[in-house]
Structure 1
Amino acid sequence: MGPVQPVMLGKSSMKTDLNRRRTPSQKRARDTIESILAATGDLLDEVGFENLSTNLICKKAGLTPPALYRYFPNKHAIMSELGQRLMAQQNAMMRGIFDGFSADDDLVAVIRHAMEAQLILTENTPGGHWITKALYASPALCAVRTRSHEMATDDLMATVALAFPGLPEDALRKTLRLTVEIGYSVIEFLLDVPETDRDSHLSETAELLAFSLARHQA
């Protein structure tokens, strides 16, 4: 995967540097970055975000602290890159699901499929659950999530708007933005409470979101 673009931070996160220190051109350096990210993903599943430290990451990756700090200033910067990569994959998956969407499609089924696919992708990503939690819980990382959700909304606007001709763009965008936020919040809930009936929660959420969007077809 190519380099992740730096995230512009809001005032609440200005004290935490989330940007990678350098973009390497040599394969060895790129491999080092990938080993740092892979070690972090595995450690998140083992110890969680709060107990994660750069020392643990170095030990897991077989690196010295200076080698890690050559590329990442802190653990939040590593989490930022992992978060951007995960959400980029989620957004790409959603684009594929909604590609070619029309008013004749079963909106509930499409939304449910998108949510379930995102949930499975996150579960199958090393550290995916903790990456998701950190993007919601850590003030320093919130900008990563909100930026990705804005991009997801842009993607949906490019496809879903064709099914709602004549609707003011600002009204549809507002509904789609809320749809994205609610959908991902439910995914986080299902990750946090694995014993819950995920099928019924996915179906009910899809029905609610579809109803909100279907109002614009009237």
Structure 2
Amino acid sequence: MQGRVAAKLDQEIAMPRRAPTQQRSRERVERMLAAAAALIAEQGSDAMRMGEVAERAGVSIGSLYQFFPDKRAIVWALAERYTAESQACISAALKDVSDAEGLKRAFSELVDIYYGMFLAEPVMRDIWSGTQADKALRELELADSRANARFLVAVLKRLRPGTDTVAMETAALLVWQMGEAVMRLAISVDREEGDRLVAAYKRMALRELVEG
């Protein structure tokens, strides 16, 4: 399923023309992405220009275009990187959970970590605040929520083995997708209100996950 989603997304967005195979090329791409992330943090992705990325990365514009045919491809690569990092974090946090208290603790910590990332990373805020206007990024966010939901379902099956699997999958997907919406809302208001919104989300989500 994820393979089909990825293939579909590849057709909808300008992806890097070629993947770096040599160490030198990989290092160059890392410099390009780091430069783009810094520029997005300073001025937002809408204002970022390919020439600026190349200049800050210390590469020619032709070299930049070899790997990233346009600005959307750079934004996509950064979004994909954050998605992979978050999935690895969630998988590691949930894989050994075996009881309700463990789930409450792990889920609460994950939400706090994710919220902290949104607060600390201007690039993440910029990328995900624009997901509703970009079909490919919406698809990536949904695929991310589905992957994270599977991690949760694996825990729920251990905790509530008699519960209907479809019901668990539905609840888990809703929990993660609502979490994305809550984060966007929380960072759009003042910090005190944002903290309250995140705390309320954790209580609501855990009530559904633990009590069913």
TM-score by length of 1: 0.85
Partners of 2:153 and 2:13 in 1: CA distance: 32
CA distances 1:96-150 after superposition (whole Å, capped 9, x unpaired): 3223223431655443321111122344446221122233432232222122221
Aligned counterpart for 2:13 among listed residues 16, 30, 38: 16
Aligned residue pair count: 208
Instruction: Tell me whether 1:205 sits opposite 2:204 in the alignment.
Output: no
Partners of 1:60 and 1:192 in 2: CA distance: 30
Aligned counterpart for 2:71 among listed residues 64, 72, 75: 75
Partners of 1:48 and 1:163 in 2: CA distance: 43
Give 1:1-218 correspondences, 5 Å limit.
Answer: 7-9=6-8, 14=11, 16-17=13-14, 19-105=15-101, 107-125=103-121, 127-216=123-212
Secondary structure of residue in 2 paired with 1:204: helix
Partners of 1:111 and 1:15 in 2: CA distance: 33
Query: Contact 2:108–2:202 (CA<8 Å) still a contact in 1?
Result: yes
Query: Contact 1:90–1:121 (CA<8 Å) still a contact in 2?
Result: no
Q: Name the CA shift for 1:63/1:98 in 2 (closer, same or farther; >3 Å).
A: same
Query: Contact 1:103–1:164 (CA<8 Å) still a contact in 2?
Result: no
Gaps of 5+ in 1: 1-5
Higher relative contact order (CA 8 A, sep 6+): 1
Range with bigger deviation, 42-51 or 90-99 = 90-99
CA distances 1:33-54 after superposition (whole Å, capped 9, x unpaired): 1011101111111111221221
Q: Name the CA shift for 1:131/1:9 in 2 (closer, same or farther; >3 Å).
A: same
Query: Contact 1:76–1:140 (CA<8 Å) still a contact in 2?
Result: no
Letter in 2 for 1:57: V
Moved over 6 A (4+): none
Range with bigger deviation, 48-57 or 106-115 = 106-115
In the TM superposition, what is the alpha-carbon distance from 1:184 to its structure 2 partner?
1.7
Partners of 1:33 and 1:182 in 2: CA distance: 33
Query: Contact 1:58–1:65 (CA<8 Å) still a contact in 2?
Result: yes
- The percent of aligned pairs where both chains have the same amino acid is 21
Gaps of 5+ in 2: none
C-alpha RMSD over aligned residues:
2.3
Query: Contact 2:100–2:210 (CA<8 Å) still a contact in 1?
Result: no
Range with bigger deviation, 85-94 or 39-48 = 85-94
Query: Contact 2:95–2:151 (CA<8 Å) still a contact in 1?
Result: no
In the TM superposition, what is the alpha-carbon distance from 1:193 to its structure 2 partner?
2.6
Query: Contact 2:95–2:155 (CA<8 Å) still a contact in 1?
Result: yes
